[in-house]
Amino acid sequence: MDLRARYTAVACLIAVLTAPPVVASTSAGADSAQYPVHPKVTWARDGWLVGGGIALLAGAQQLDVNVRPVPPQGLDPADIGWSFDREQIGKFNTRALDASDIASAASVAYPMIVALASQPSGERINGTLRRSVIYLESYLLATTTATLIKNSADRPRPYTYVSDGQRPNDDTYDVTDDEAFQSMPSSHASSSFCGAAFAMTDQLISRPQSGWVERVGVAFTGGLLASMTSTLRVSAGKHFPSDVLAGGAIGMASGVLVPMAHLYVSPAGRKAPHPSGRAWLQALGGMTTGIVAGVLIVNASY
| Per-residue tens of pLDDT for the chain, all 302 residues | 454 554 455 455 445 444 444 443 333 234 444 567 889 998 889 999 999 999 999 999 999 999 999 999 999 999 999 999 999 999 899 899 999 999 999 999 999 999 998 877 778 888 899 999 999 999 999 999 999 999 999 999 999 999 999 998 889 999 999 999 999 999 999 999 999 999 999 999 998 888 999 999 999 999 999 999 999 999 999 999 999 999 999 999 999 999 999 999 887 778 888 899 999 999 999 999 999 999 999 999 98
The model's pTM is 0.88
Q: d(Cα 142, Cα 287) in Å, to the nearest integer?
A: 19
What is the rounded distance in angstroms from the CA atom of residue 83 to the CA atom of residue 178? 25
Cα separation, 38 vs 58, whole angstroms: 30
Cα–Cα distance for residue pair 293/285, rounded to 1 Å: 12
Helix 95-118 / helix 124-153 crossing angle, nearest 10 deg: 150
Coil, helix or strand at residue 264: strand
Residue 98 neighbours by CB under 8 Å, 6+ apart: 1, 2, 5
Domain count, the chain: 1
**58: CB partners within 8 A, 6+ apart:** none
Domain that holds residue 257: 3-301
Q: What's the pLDDT score for residue 4?
A: 54
Q: Residue 293: is it exposed, middle or buried by C-beta count within 10 angstroms (0-12/13-18/19+)?
A: middle
